[in-house]
Amino acid sequence: MMAAVRAEWGRTWSVRAPWVTLAAVLVTVPLMATVLANDVVHAVSTGELPPGTSTAPAVALGPAVQLGLVVLAALAMHPVTTEYATGTARLTFQAEPRRWLVLAAKTTVVTVTALLAGVATGTAATFAVRAFLGVHAAPAPDGALAEALRAGLRTGVVLALAAILTAGIAAVVRHAVGTLALAAALLAGALLLPDPVSRWTPAGAVASFVEGGGAPWALVAWAVVGFAAAAGVLERRDA
Amino acid sequence: MITFAHATKRYGPTTALDDLTVTVRPGSVTGLLGPNGAGKSTALRLALGLDRATAGDVTVHGIPYRALRHPLRTVGAHVDARAFHPGRSARAHLTALARYNRIPARRVDDVLGLVGLSDVAGKRAGGFSLGMAQRLGLAGALLGDPEVVLLDEPVNGLDTDGVLWLRGLLRDLADQGRTVLLSSHLLSELEVTADHVVVLGRGRLLADLPIADLVGRDAPVVVRTPDAPAPLADALVEIGHHPQVDGHGLTVDGVDVTLVGDLAHALGLRVHHLAPAPVTLEARYLDLVADDVQYRARPEERIA
């Protein structure tokens, strides 16, 4: 497994696209969150919201993470879909015929990356949102740093789980466009469904967890089932 | 050694490989020959564990490919032209494969040197010509210093130097006791490269024999003479042969070339050319596959 992860880590970062999408993830979340925070401040200034409005930074972070997940999906699918696009998948399966292990290695690379990127971008976004909200930010009982780190960890966890799910989808679908469409629908689009349904979707689980809810078990289940299904398909299908 | 035992592969209603039983032996270069759709690529894909056989078994040294540990150290293959990411360097491409099989990093530079790509090892492979792409594919095949080498149309796109180099390389590999299997539609190439040929047609085994048998034994002898060929033709008929006389001489089957030469000399015929017909491999091959060509251009559709 270590050999496979080493192979996939080096290979993933030896082309440009993952760097670009990683940068996009890091920029998108804080940018979107501060735009939303700015909306709150603006609404107060126009009288749309009462002057005493107090908003938790996590409220602005939630939708920003959701958007970030769509960008992250592009990063998470890349090591898989690019192999099919270039025909190197067959070469990789010659080197490692245990295909579940190849998928596990690729998934490890994007999951670790997503976790670190999520912690960084979630923490930064929370600081930025608090700064933008100013007096309209809800008080942080144990300090702004602890609040930001906690939000960063939650963001890291959802990005990591979303990366696992996306890598699985990519292995089944094989094409970039189809993978991105399906991942975006599951990770963000499903939020538009009525709540009793959407809470069981990845998007619903993300929204409630980032805004401070309990463990995102629905997303964990999606990620685990998605990976297992993809590994099964890879083993059976002709390469 | 690669062993196909009743290997059959169906893709939906299409039978790509039909009960193939053949053994590819070490120490020689074996050519896999057949028209488009004959099952050459399918056979290679089954051998590499990429596709699962519908029935039968394919093994390498008695082991199914997918059960090999660090398979690149046992089997090296180059089956897809341009199977690399255009934005990745040749070195990074090979390094990933090497790491999967715990092949030391210096081996990557060794094989890049071996195929003549050292100078462009760090360049994006997307800019490679077809010949360079083939060399990168061959470097991948040689990466694990494998006992078994499988190549699909490796000569395509190589320049003359490259073709000569590859011929020498394959010969060396076979002489070292390795198993070399290459598919080709270039009969002339196999004639100078391969020791043994396996001929497929519509997924079935048509022939499995030394190339010398395919080329030499029954080759018709062609005689070119400025004199009237009739006396020689008569002499050949007398000893039971059926020469075909044409404007420049004659062609005769099933007779030793030295005998024809001696006869001509005895009859006082001036002989300008006397040799087994050079197109024999092609002719024999076409005989073998005549009934098994899947995609035949119909004569009436031929562009004038």
Mean pLDDT for all residues in chain B: 88
Cα of B195 to nearest chain A Cα, Å: 27
Angle between helices A57-86 and A202-210 (to 10 degrees): 140
Whether the CB of B146 is below 8 Å from some CB of chain A: the reply is no
- B122 touching A, CB under 8 A? no
Distance CA A44, CA B113 (A): 68
For residue A239, being part of any structural domain is answered with no
pLDDT tens digits, B228-284: 899 999 999 998 888 999 888 998 888 888 889 999 999 999 999 998 776 555 666
Location of structure tokens 């010509």: B129
Give the residue numbers spanning the domain of A47.
2-234
Quote the pLDDT of residue B216.
Answer: 57
A167, part of any domain: yes
Closest Cβ opposite residue A10 in set B49, B87, B99:
B99
Report the percentage of chain B scoring pLDDT > 90. 64
Question: pLDDT class for B159, splitting at 50, 70, 90?
Answer: confident
> Taking a C-beta distance cutoff of 8 angstroms, is the pair A29, A123 a contact?
no
Give the residue from chain B lying closest to A97, CA to CA: B66
- B96 with A97: Cβ contact below 8 A: no
Query: pLDDT tens digit string along A96-122?
Result: 999 999 999 999 999 999 999 999 999
| Sheet order of strands, B29-33 included | B75-78, B148-152, B179-184, B29-33, B196-201, B204-210
Residue B302 has pLDDT above 50, yes or no: no
Q: How far apart are CA A34 and CA A61, in angstroms?
A: 9
The stretch B286-293 carries a mean pLDDT of 65
Find the residue in A nearest to B88 (Cα): A15
pLDDT band of B192, cuts 50, 70, 90:
confident
Closest Cα of chain A to B39: distance in Å? 16
Which stretches within chain A are classed as H helix? 2-12, 17-45, 57-86, 89-95, 99-133, 144-173, 176-187, 195-198, 202-210, 217-236
Taking only the tens place, the pLDDT of each residue in B38-79 is 899 999 999 999 999 999 999 999 999 999 999 999 999 999
A79-83, B212-216, B295-299 — which is least confidently predicted? B295-299
CA dihedral sign of residues A91, A96, A98, A103 = negative
Residues of A in contact with B122 (CB under 8 A): none
Q: Is the pLDDT of residue B215 over 80?
A: no
Tell me what pLDDT residue B283 has.
67
**How many Cβ atoms are within 10 Å of A228's Cβ, its own excluded?**
12
On whether any CB of chain A is under 8 Å from the CB of B64, the answer is no
Mean pLDDT, residues B137-142 taken together:
96
Query: Is A86 in contact with B83 (Cβ distance < 8 A)?
Result: yes
Residue of A4, A16, A94 lying closest to B71 (CB–CB): A94
| CB-based contact A97 B71, cutoff 8 Å | yes
Q: Is the pLDDT of residue B213 over 80?
A: no
Three-state DSSP class for B201?
strand
Q: Do B96 and A96 touch (CB under 8 A)?
A: no
Pairing of strands B204-210, B196-201: antiparallel
Give the residue from chain A lying closest to B96, CA to CA.
A7
Q: Which residue has the higher pLDDT, A168 or B34?
A: A168
Is A83 domain-assigned?
A: yes
Q: What is the pLDDT of residue A6?
A: 96
CB contact under 8 A, B88 and A97: no
Q: Is the ipTM of this complex over 0.85?
A: yes
Question: Which residues of chain B lie closer than 8 angstroms to A15, CB-CB?
Answer: 85, 87-88
CA A7/CA B93 separation, integer angstroms: 10
Residue B297 has pLDDT above 70, yes or no: no
User: Residue A94 and residue B48: Cβ atoms within 8 Å?
Assistant: yes
A160 CB-contact burial (10 Å; exposed 0-12 / middle 13-18 / buried 19+): buried
What pLDDT is attached to residue A161? Answer: 97
What pLDDT was estimated at residue B296?
A: 54
Residue A20 in contact with partner chain B when CB distance is under 8 A: no
Using the predicted structure, report yes or no on whether residue B304 has a pLDDT greater than 50: no
Determine the Cα–Cα distance for residues B71 and B50; give it in Å rounded to an integer.
Answer: 13
User: pLDDT tens digit string along B82-118?
Assistant: 899 999 999 999 999 999 999 999 999 999 999 999 9
User: How far is residue B156's CA from residue B166's CA, in Å, rounded to a whole number?
Assistant: 11
Say yes or no for a CB contact (<8 Å) between B96 and A7.
yes
Residues B66, A17: C-beta atoms closer than 8 Å: no
Kindly report each contact of residues B186-194 with a partner whose C-beta sits within 8 Å and lies 24 or more positions away, as own/partner.
B186/B155, B187/B33, B187/B281, B187/B282, B187/B285, B188/B281, B189/B155, B189/B163, B190/B31, B190/B33, B190/B281, B191/B215, B191/B281, B192/B167, B193/B29, B193/B31, B193/B167, B194/B29, B194/B30, B194/B31
**Considering the domain B2-85+129-211, what is its CATH architecture?**
3-Layer(aba) Sandwich (3.40)
Q: Do B92 and A94 touch (CB under 8 A)?
A: no
Q: Do B85 and A88 touch (CB under 8 A)?
A: yes
Show the tokens assigned to B35: 């028209």
- How far, rounded to the nearest angstrom, does the alpha carbon of residue B233 sit from its chain's CA centroid? 37
Residue B44 and residue B230 in contact, taking contact as beta carbons nearer than 8 Å: no
Q: Where are the beta strands (DSSP E) in chain B?
A: 2-11, 14-24, 29-33, 55-60, 75-78, 148-152, 179-184, 196-201, 204-210, 221-224, 244-246, 249-252, 273-276
Q: Give the residues across from B200 on adjacent strands.
A: B205
The nearest alpha carbon in chain B to A7 belongs to B96
Is the Cβ of A233 closer than 8 Å to some Cβ of chain B? no
Domain limits of chain B?
A: 2-85+129-211, 221-276
- Check: CB of residue B150 under 8 Å from CB of residue B142: no
Give the DSSP per-residue string, B69-103: SSGGGTEEEE-STT-S-TTSBHHHHHHHHHHHTT-
**Could you give the 3-state DSSP secondary structure of residue B146?**
coil
**Which residues of chain A lie closer than 8 angstroms to B125, CB-CB?**
none
Q: CB A91 to CB B99 under 8 A? A: no
The predicted model scores a pTM of: 0.85
Helices (H), B203-300: 211-215, 230-238, 257-267, 280-289
- What percentage of chain B has pLDDT greater than the value 70? 90
Q: Give the whole-angstrom CA distance, residue A73 versus residue A25.
A: 10
- Asked if B54 is an interface residue toward chain A (Cβ–Cβ < 8 A), one would say no
**What is the distance in angstroms between the CA of the first residue and the CA of the last residue of chain B?**
47
**In contact, B40 and B184? CB cutoff 8 Å:** no
Q: How far is B172 from chain A (nearest CA, A)?
A: 24
Question: Measured between CB atoms, does A87 come within 8 Å of chain B?
Answer: yes
pLDDT score of B301: 47
- Can you read off the two tokens belonging to residue A90? 């067959």
Number of domains comprising chain A? 1
Contacts of B75 in chain A (CB under 8 A): 94
What gap in Å lies between CA B179 and CA B160, rounded to an integer? 24
Q: How far is A160 from chain B (nearest CA, A)?
A: 24
> What span, in angstroms and rounded, lies between the C-alpha atoms of A143 and B159?
70
- Interface contact A97, partner B, CB < 8 A: yes
Query: Which structure tokens are listed for A87?
Result: 């025909």
Q: Is A82 on the interface with B (CB under 8 A)?
A: yes
| Alpha-carbon span B10 to B271, nearest angstrom | 54
Beta bridge partners, A134, equal: none
Q: Please, which residues bridge with residue B246 across strands? A: B249
Give the one of B48, B99, B140 whose C-beta lies nearest to A3's C-beta.
Answer: B99
Per-residue pLDDT of chain A (239 residues; tens, 9 = 90+): 899 999 999 999 999 999 999 999 999 999 999 999 999 999 999 989 888 888 999 999 999 999 999 999 999 999 999 999 999 999 999 999 999 999 999 999 999 999 999 999 999 999 999 999 988 989 888 888 999 999 999 999 999 999 999 999 999 999 999 999 999 999 999 988 998 888 899 999 999 999 888 899 999 999 999 999 999 999 999 88
* Beta carbon pairs, A and B, within 8 Å: 89
How far does B162 lie from chain A, in Å, by closest CA? 23
Q: How many residues does chain B have?
A: 304
**Does the residue A189 lie in any domain?**
yes
β-pair partners for B17: B9
Alpha-carbon Rg of chain B, whole angstroms?
23
